[in-house]
Amino acid sequence: MVISTGISAMSFFTPHRYISLDTLAQHHGIDPAKFSRGIGQEKIAMPGHDEDVVTLAAEAAKPIIDQFGADGIDTILFATETGIDQSKSAGIYVQRLLGLPSNLRNVELKQACYSATAALQMACAHVARKPDRKVLVIASDIARYDLDSSGEATQGASAVAMLVTANPTLLEIGTVSGLFTEDIMDFWRPNHRRTPLVDGKYSALRYLGALVESWRDYQANGGLPYDGFAQFCYHLPFSRMGEKAHLRLAKEAKAEADMQAALPGMIYNRQVGNSYTASMYLAILSTLENSESDLAGKSLGLFSYGSGATGEFFDAKVVEGYQDHLFAPRHRKILEDRTALSYDEYVALWHARNGEDGTDTPMPDEAKGRYRLASIDDNKRIYVDRTA
């Protein structure tokens, strides 16, 4: 008997402060339309000194644990390219903060912006083999580029948590995938650097190339036709990239591009900015929570891309009653309750202390959520739960 597997709950979190790209444009003396229309972005989420991928992840996952409990969870897969340790999985800190049991596996995955999709596919395979088990998949990232660089406007931060189960109540993940990997240097971050090295134009071209190759492989493996999808969700380093991807895919499929089939997935991204591994999954949430039509029983076309480079095209079917399993009011409140930064405040946060020199580093109390990085003591990261 074939067991359906997929996502029963999704939740996201983003920091409570942001810089408007109008403010950034004003500082640089350029037309704000370069950002609002040129790359399709409005705001950049900015984490505080005491926020990182662990605190964002814990905040994203907590509502899922509160609603569904921890019973059956035997695996945490933490996807990020903003690693905080070369050895220890960031998910282990999250496991403790959430009070999850010790009898589970906990692994961190990395491949640029793609690894959350690998985590999701691994999770589905695991629960197909053990239908009574559940997997907590977390994508958490902080996209940071050098000040005054070409990538500065495509920064951002968020985390998306997903509960993967058999007989899912939100999204049933399809069994067909289209895959493509090539060895290129379009975006990379050597160990000694805090920010990545990027060939932006080349990366955009290879993104589109990986989309086409993944789509062709998806079709060769028996995937749904282009007109079998109600909505499409793409990896979004910036929203305009998703628009370009949608046009390119329609051209490859010899179909007319309906941009309304992709725009709902870009709404949250415009407000949050790039979040690497979490980006496409934020697009899925944005689609489910902002589409004007009922998506129950319909299919989503999903394209995940990670520079370096790996792409995957796959599909998901929206489960009947999915609206009952969304945290839409919470997500809207998170976005509505944020505070705008001045340019000087933004620069101060960009230069957040990180304790890399090994000295003890207490962190100013800035986070508004439940969890925070209190300090780095003797090279050990000390996370606290404000309610404990």
Residues known to be catalytic: 81, 113, 235
Supply the DSSP symbol for 223. P
d(CA 333, CA 361) in angstroms, rounded, equals 32
- Closest to 237 in 3D by CA, of 144, 139, 361: 144
User: Which residues have a Cβ under 8 Å from the Cβ of 183 and sit 6 or more positions away?
Assistant: 308
User: Which residues have a Cβ under 8 Å from the Cβ of 271 and sit 6 or more positions away?
Assistant: 18, 42, 43, 45, 335
DSSP string covering 233-244: EE--SSHHHHHH
Are residues 67 and 169 in contact, defined by beta-carbon separation less than 8 angstroms? no
Name the token pair of 2: 């074939």
User: Which residues have a Cβ under 8 Å from the Cβ of 107 and sit 6 or more positions away?
Assistant: 75, 76, 77, 78, 89, 91
Name the token pair of 20: 């408007």
Instruction: Kindly report the backbone phi and psi dihedral angles of residue 75, in degrees, each rounded to the nearest multiple of 5, phi listed first.
Output: -150, 140
Query: The tokens 């289209």 sit on which residue?
Result: 178
Please give the radius of gyration of the chain, using alpha carbons only, rounded to the nearest integer.
20
148 burial via Cβ count (<10 Å: 0-12, 13-18, 19+): exposed
d(CA 323, CA 271) in angstroms, rounded, equals 22
